[in-house]
Amino acid sequence: MAQPLCAILDAHYLGFDINYACAHNRRTALITAANQQLIRLFCAQHVADEIVEHVEAWSINARRSMPVADFLCRWYTEYLPVLRVVPDDAIPDGWLAPDEHARIETLAIEDTDDIPSVKLALAIRGLYMSRDGLAVAAVYGADADLIDREKWLDRLKAGSDAGELALMLRGAQTVAGITGMGAFKAAQKAYDALGPLGLLLAGGLGYLLWDWIKQPERQGLRSALGDICMFVMEMDLHRRAQQETFDKALPRVPSWSALSTTNGPESVVGRAGVYMLAREPTAHISARELTEILRTYVSCSEATVRGVLRATSCFTEVYKGRWQVGADQRPRELASGTTTSTLRLPGPRGRARGSAMGA
Q: Which tens digit of pLDDT belongs to each residue from 70-119?
A: 999 999 999 999 999 999 999 999 999 999 999 999 999 988 899 999 99
Average pLDDT of the chain?
A: 77
Q: Kindly state whether residue 242 falls inside one of the protein's structural domains.
A: yes
Residue 224 confidence class, pLDDT cut points 50, 70, 90 = low
Greater model confidence, 42 or 216: 42
Q: Kindly state whether residue 233 falls inside one of the protein's structural domains.
A: yes
Pairing, β 352-354 against β 344-346: antiparallel
Predicted model pTM: 0.71
Burial of 134 by CB count in 10 Å (0-12 exposed, 13-18 middle, 19+ buried)?
Answer: middle
Greater model confidence, 25 or 337: 25
Q: How many residues are present in the chain?
A: 359
CA-wise closest residue to 108 among 98, 119, 97: 119
pLDDT in tens, 297-334: 998 999 999 999 999 999 999 989 999 999 987 765 45
The arithmetic mean of pLDDT across residues 276-291, rounded, is 92
Q: At what angle do helices 98-110 and 115-124 cross, to 10 degrees?
A: 160
The arithmetic mean of pLDDT across residues 9-17, rounded, is 91
Q: 18 and 27 in contact (C-beta within 8 Å)?
A: no
Burial of 230 by CB count in 10 Å (0-12 exposed, 13-18 middle, 19+ buried)?
Answer: exposed
Structural domains in the chain (count): 1
| Lowest mean per-residue pLDDT among 27-41, 198-212, 340-354 | 340-354
Domain with 221, as residue range(s), is 154-247
Looking at residue 33, its pLDDT comes to: 83
Looking at residue 111, its pLDDT comes to: 84
Long-range CB contacts (within 8 A, 24+) of 281-287 = 281/1, 281/2, 281/3, 281/4, 283/324, 284/318, 284/319, 284/322, 284/323, 284/324, 285/322, 285/323, 286/321, 286/322, 286/323, 287/321, 287/323
Q: Kindly state whether residue 65 falls inside one of the protein's structural domains.
A: no
Q: 178 and 52 in contact (C-beta within 8 Å)?
A: no
126: left (phi over 0), alpha (psi -120 to 50) or beta: beta
pLDDT in tens, 22-77: 999 989 888 888 888 888 999 999 999 999 999 999 999 989 999 999 999 999 99
Q: Kindly state whether residue 181 falls inside one of the protein's structural domains.
A: yes
Greater model confidence, 139 or 185: 139
Residue 155 confidence class, pLDDT cut points 50, 70, 90 = low
Q: Kindly state whether residue 339 falls inside one of the protein's structural domains.
A: no
Q: Kindly state whether residue 158 falls inside one of the protein's structural domains.
A: yes
